[in-house]
Amino acid sequence: MKKFFQFEKLNTNYKQELAAGFTTFITMAYIIIVNPKILEIAGIPFGPSLVATALTAAIGTFLLGVYANKPFAIAPYMGENAFVAFTVVKVLGFSWQTALGAIFISGFLFVILTLTKVRVWLSKAIPESLKISFAVGIGLFLTFIGLNECGIIKLGVEGAPVKIGNIKQIEILLSIIGLILMLLLLVRNIKGSILLGILVTTILSIILGLISLPEKIFSLPPSIEPIFLKLDITGAISWGFFSVILTIFILDFLDTLGTLIGLGYKAEILDEEGNFPEIEKPMLCDALSTCIAALLGTTTSGIYIESAAGIQVGGKSGFTALTVSFLFLLSIFFVPLVSIVPPYAYGPALIIVGILMMTPVGKINYKDLTEFIPAMIVIFLMSFSYNIGIGMTAGFIFYPVMKIFTNRFKEVKAGMWILFIFSVLFYVFYPY
């Protein structure tokens, strides 16, 4: 096992990998509850959807750990599930079965593009300044999400999009205590600082009566028969559904690419040009997991940025992913226990991981405005639009345009023009 996962080469051990896997799982365990809650709005029954969510995460993460040997985790994406529930089903009026058909088509296309190396070719065409901005932008995005989960920042009023929460509330005070505890442990280089912070905050919440221990810890999972293999591929193959397939396709492509580059910086595995070595391996796992998700009855699946929490704890190999996979599988039987971790307990973890992901910002060449401005646009739009894809596509448009108007179009690689066209189409067909 140690030899298979290259423990000696990666300078890691079982204890470190297990801690990393548990930390990653804790920071993204919310998906087990939140994803089916959102998809319930689209008409997908909660119980079967919950099982499909956990199974998708378990299978996808297992594939990634064994095949790619990376400490990343896979699960259904949050943005895409909301797109399906609120836009495709509620606004456009399509069935959830047809939406799952579109997701399968998108995943299948990704498998083809990955096997033919087109996806890798496109990723290598992206300039380093934009790749850095993806990591930094996702970091700011994560920090913003964390602040919101803690209640420190909340939805504002007209004229002020956000405002500070009431820090006199006990939940927000606990999140601040958890944040301070994590930071103090972190600066002292104590491993497991994030996980310890989450556990302490959760235990304090139980003691103070803010959350209760579940009546039963173990429960048998419901059947997924009502949603298993219920996707409608034929219904999705129509011109009227083209914009939906295109949007799902581009969102998944950009989310995965941005997340991989961001995690690559965090794990310090990118090469000198900012490229991810053997990126086709995690990309293929990501693409296959989307196909599996649609077959099981849930939405687009991909690599989660919360994997950075496990990397921060010391995760370096696929054994971290294997641990996460096992915990997702186990969670099907322990949903009551998993669901008690409150948002204000894991929110501080997202804040810290986000801050640490912003460290590469100094590598962006601020003296060259054709590099600096597109990078900044990416960073700000990712967070302020609450959409990673919006930020990335803006960068793909602004970068070549600024190079053309400064007579430096030769610096733009052919793949960037493909991404430029895709980005324009993204905004044309995006369901605003």
Confirm whether 2 is domain-assigned: no
Confirm whether 36 is domain-assigned: yes
Reported as a single tens digit per residue, the pLDDT across 161-173 is 888 999 899 999 9
The number of angstroms, rounded, from the C-alpha of 177 to the middle of its chain's C-alpha atoms is 26
Confirm whether 56 is domain-assigned: yes
| Strands 74-76, 153-157: pairing kind | unpaired
Residue with tokens 């943005």: 79
CB 138 within 8 A of CB 262: yes
Quick one: DSSP state of residue 154? E
Confirm whether 272 is domain-assigned: yes
CB 229 within 8 A of CB 104: no
Q: Per DSSP, what are the bridge partners of residue 416?
A: none
pLDDT at 146: 86
Write phi, then psi, for 74 (nearest 5 degrees): -115, 140
pLDDT at 79: 66
Considering its fold, how many domains does the chain have in total?
1
The DSSP H or E segment spanning 302 is: strand 301-303
pLDDT at 228: 92
User: Which of 57, 70, 51 has its CA nearest to residue 12?
Assistant: 70
CB 254 within 8 A of CB 393: yes
Instruction: Take residue 158 and report the two structure tokens written for it.
Output: 């007209």
Mean pLDDT of 377-395: 86
pTM score of the predicted model: 0.74
pLDDT at 191: 65
Confirm whether 102 is domain-assigned: yes
Confirm whether 4 is domain-assigned: no
User: Which of 29, 21, 22 has its CA nearest to residue 341?
Assistant: 29
CB 97 within 8 A of CB 243: no
Mean pLDDT of 344-350: 86
Instruction: Take residue 90 and report the two structure tokens written for it.
Output: 């509620």
pLDDT at 431: 66
pLDDT at 320: 92
pLDDT at 338: 67
Confidence category of residue 352, pLDDT binned at 50, 70, 90: confident
Q: What are the residues whose beta carbons fall under 8 Å from the beta carbon of 25, sequence distance 6 or more?
A: 73, 323, 324, 327, 328, 331
Reported as a single tens digit per residue, the pLDDT across 17-56 is 898 898 888 878 778 877 887 788 788 888 888 899 999 9
pLDDT at 137: 87
Confirm whether 1 is domain-assigned: no
Confidence category of residue 132, pLDDT binned at 50, 70, 90: confident
Distance from C-alpha of 12 to C-alpha of 381, rounded to nearest angstrom: 37
Confirm whether 418 is domain-assigned: yes
Domain range for 84: 9-429
Reported as a single tens digit per residue, the pLDDT across 177-204 is 999 999 999 898 776 678 788 889 989 9
User: Which of 305, 283, 278, 280 has its CA nearest to residue 72?
Assistant: 305
pLDDT at 327: 93
pLDDT at 84: 80
DSSP 163-201: EE--TTSHHHHHHHHHHHHHHHHHHTT-TTHHHHHHHHH
Distance from C-alpha of 329 to C-alpha of 23, rounded to nearest angstrom: 16
pLDDT at 288: 94
The number of angstroms, rounded, from the C-alpha of 431 to the middle of its chain's C-alpha atoms is 21
